[in-house]
Chains A and B, each alone.
Chain A
Amino acid sequence: MNERLDLRFPADGSVLSIDGLELRSGERLVVFGPNGAGKSTLLRLLAGTLAGGPALEAAYLPQRPYLFRGSAGFNMGLGLSAEEAVRSRQLADRLGVGELLIYAASSLSGGEAQRVALARTLARPEPWVLLDEPLSAQDARDRMKVASVLIDGLGGRGAVIVTHDREEAAVLGDRMAVVVNGHLLQEGPVAEVFSLPLSDEVAAAVGIGNVIDGVVIEGEGPLNSLRAGGLTIWGLGDVPAGNPGRAVFGAESVTLFRGSDGAAGSARNRWVGQVTEVRQLGRLVEIVIDAGVRVVALVTPGSQEVLQLQPGAGVTATVKAAAVRVNPT
């Protein structure tokens, strides 16, 4: 049972104003955006803990799960039937907090408390599950494990997952809605939103993106070419030639080859340049290239090592035109 929801808060929509947020049963929708964008307000409206929303029949994990006085086990069982309690204990075991249930809730670390609350939320019977930053308190080394138990624990139910973390969004989401300043800016499959932000605002919100200003020199069908700092960038767009334009593409869309002779292929954009910066970014590595303009690429640590992508290294960057959007400015 899919839902198409209008969300407004307060009544004048000054904090949150979204029309037609689409929730599909069996699908995990990530609501992504910077802090203060209205994501938690959105979730609280859906959960019904904030009045005035189209409250769903949903299990809800608040951003800061609060454990009450008593044991962790007592807290995990709150509101659960006997059968659900059994399920929550199985989930707790898989989340690595099964042994901690006999201890006072106040003795748990933030990450452990979050896992106990997550087990309780996932064990609930409601058809929808709402999770507010469900991995925020987890150590980097536990995150992926918790994420996989989480996905499993949903058991195919539809979920709305709020996060401001790119990695969390990429791992947990099927689809992604970008919310900035209380407005829904873009909605689509996670990979598409990351690699093809529809606007500069979305590009800025989803993080490491390439936003390059120039002048549109050619328009052919759905393609535009943009001239910027000696580079020609091909991308999707319908900006008339001669107008200023802005090319936007995700750092994940950039493929790197060592040297300047690299790789024939279907990619329309091939730029030769030099690595200027290398930065560890979660499990990935961000590579900044000077190719006349600044281009950012995201690669795995393995690729970085094999290609020896260090500052000063000569590289060829390629990007499919279909992964670039040219917007008017």
Chain B
Amino acid sequence: MDFLVEVLGDALEALFGFGSELRQVLGLTLVVSLLATVFGVVVGVPLGTWVALRRTRVRTAWLVAVNIGMGVPPVLAGLALLLVLWDTGPLGGLGLLFTPAAMVAAQTMLAIPIAAGVTAGAIKGLPPAASEQLAALALSGWERGRVMLVEVWPGVVAAVAAAFGRVVSEVGAVLVVGGNIVGETRVLTTAIVQETRQANFGDALALGLLLIILAAAVNGFLTWMQLRSGRHE
């Protein structure tokens, strides 16, 4: 018991001490995860819409691919990207390895299937009358997608929330392609791993609390968006 109280005391001390290093870690976490979420949603939501509106076997194949993508372990996605970005790899010349850009790329890979899967699920969850009506309207592919996305707007917000939740909490991918370099590529999750390994439990817990506050803030905003869209139905 004394041990836990001590750790908690250290954690609060660290939180209120909020130094420049911590600020830097928090800032990078926000930038990397938000950028990855935005890229993931921009690609994933239209992809999910397209997949859900297919009527052939192609759709089944895509759905399977999306579902597999949703379950890929982050560390594996990181490893794949690492191999591509390695000095002697196909894109080694870009020199992106161990930079925030590589971290955004890795997390985007994780965000795309989540955003696509949640969007496709929301569209498939509509009553059959909705897709029958959509087909009856003889709209262009673009218009169909637009009408569908507006229709499942709360589902799209859920896709954003799920994508952000996945990337902000993962540690494997950013660790492998970012390298957890102090002042350069260290984010909250990799910092927690680092502090835990060094038995700085108070600092680790402080970082964890920050991560929770960050996730709660973003999700609170998204929930507000969801409820707001519900009122305008």
Measuring CB to CB, which residues of chain B are less than 8 angstroms from any residue of chain A?
A: 55, 127, 129-130, 132-139, 143, 147, 150-151, 153, 232-233
**Docked-complex contact B133 and A79, CB < 8 angstroms:** no
User: Which residues of the other chain, A, contact B137 by a CB distance below 8 angstroms?
Assistant: 78-79
Task: Verify if A49 is at the interface (C-beta below 8 Å from B).
Answer: yes
**Docked-complex contact A78 and B139, CB < 8 angstroms:** yes
User: Which residues of the other chain, B, contact A79 by a CB distance below 8 angstroms?
Assistant: 137-139, 143
Give the residue name and chain of the A residue nearest to B135 (CB). A49
In the assembled complex, the Cα of A104 lies from the Cα of B132 at a distance in Å of: 21
Task: Verify if A141 is at the interface (C-beta below 8 Å from B).
Answer: no
Task: Verify if A60 is at the interface (C-beta below 8 Å from B).
Answer: yes
**Docked-complex contact A68 and B136, CB < 8 angstroms:** no
**Docked-complex contact A66 and B127, CB < 8 angstroms:** yes
User: Which residues of the other chain, A, contact B134 by a CB distance below 8 angstroms?
Assistant: 66
User: Which residues of the other chain, B, contact A60 by a CB distance below 8 angstroms?
Assistant: 136
Main secondary structure of the interface of B (DSSP, over half): helix
Assuming the contacts A66-B130, A66-B132, A69-B150, asked whether A104 and B139 have C-beta atoms less than 8 A apart, the reply is no
User: Which residues of the other chain, B, contact A64 by a CB distance below 8 angstroms?
Assistant: 129, 132
**Docked-complex contact B147 and A78, CB < 8 angstroms:** yes
In the assembled complex, the Cα of A117 lies from the Cα of B143 at a distance in Å of: 18
User: Which residues of the other chain, A, contact B143 by a CB distance below 8 angstroms?
Assistant: 78-79
**Docked-complex contact A49 and B136, CB < 8 angstroms:** yes
Give the residue name and chain of the B residue nearest to A51 (CB). B55
Give the interface size class of chain A. 20 to 34
In the assembled complex, the Cα of A22 lies from the Cα of B127 at a distance in Å of: 33
Among the listed B133, B147, B153, B232, which residue makes an inter-chain contact with A104, where contact means beta carbons less than 8 Å apart?
B232
User: Which residues of the other chain, A, contact B130 by a CB distance below 8 angstroms?
Assistant: 66, 68
**Docked-complex contact B147 and A68, CB < 8 angstroms:** yes
Among the listed B132, B150, B151, B233, which residue makes an inter-chain contact with A49, where contact means beta carbons less than 8 Å apart?
B132
Task: Verify if A70 is at the interface (C-beta below 8 Å from B).
Answer: yes
Assuming the contacts A49-B136, A104-B232, asked whether A62 and B129 have C-beta atoms less than 8 A apart, the reply is yes
In the assembled complex, the Cα of A49 lies from the Cα of B134 at a distance in Å of: 9
In the assembled complex, the Cα of A64 lies from the Cα of B151 at a distance in Å of: 17
- Nearest CB of chain A from residue B58's CB, rounded to whole Å: 14
In the assembled complex, the Cα of A69 lies from the Cα of B138 at a distance in Å of: 18
**Docked-complex contact B132 and A62, CB < 8 angstroms:** yes
Closest 7 CB pairs of A and B: A66-B133, A49-B135, A79-B137, A64-B129, A60-B136, A66-B129, A66-B130
User: Which residues of the other chain, B, contact A179 by a CB distance below 8 angstroms?
Assistant: none
In the assembled complex, the Cα of A91 lies from the Cα of B115 at a distance in Å of: 41
In the assembled complex, the Cα of A64 lies from the Cα of B127 at a distance in Å of: 11
Known: A60-B136, A79-B137. 11 other contacts (CB 8 A): A49-B132, A62-B133, A62-B136, A63-B129, A66-B129, A66-B132, A66-B133, A66-B134, A69-B153, A69-B232, A78-B137
In the assembled complex, the Cα of A63 lies from the Cα of B137 at a distance in Å of: 14
**Docked-complex contact B132 and A68, CB < 8 angstroms:** no
- Nearest CB of chain A from residue B46's CB, rounded to whole Å: 18
User: Which residues of the other chain, B, contact A162 by a CB distance below 8 angstroms?
Assistant: none
User: Which residues of the other chain, B, contact A51 by a CB distance below 8 angstroms?
Assistant: 55
Task: Verify if A47 is at the interface (C-beta below 8 Å from B).
Answer: yes
Which of B129, B133, B139 counts the most chain A CB atoms within 10 A? B133
Task: Verify if A328 is at the interface (C-beta below 8 Å from B).
Answer: no
- Nearest CB of chain A from residue B179's CB, rounded to whole Å: 45
Task: Verify if A106 is at the interface (C-beta below 8 Å from B).
Answer: yes
**Docked-complex contact B233 and A106, CB < 8 angstroms:** yes
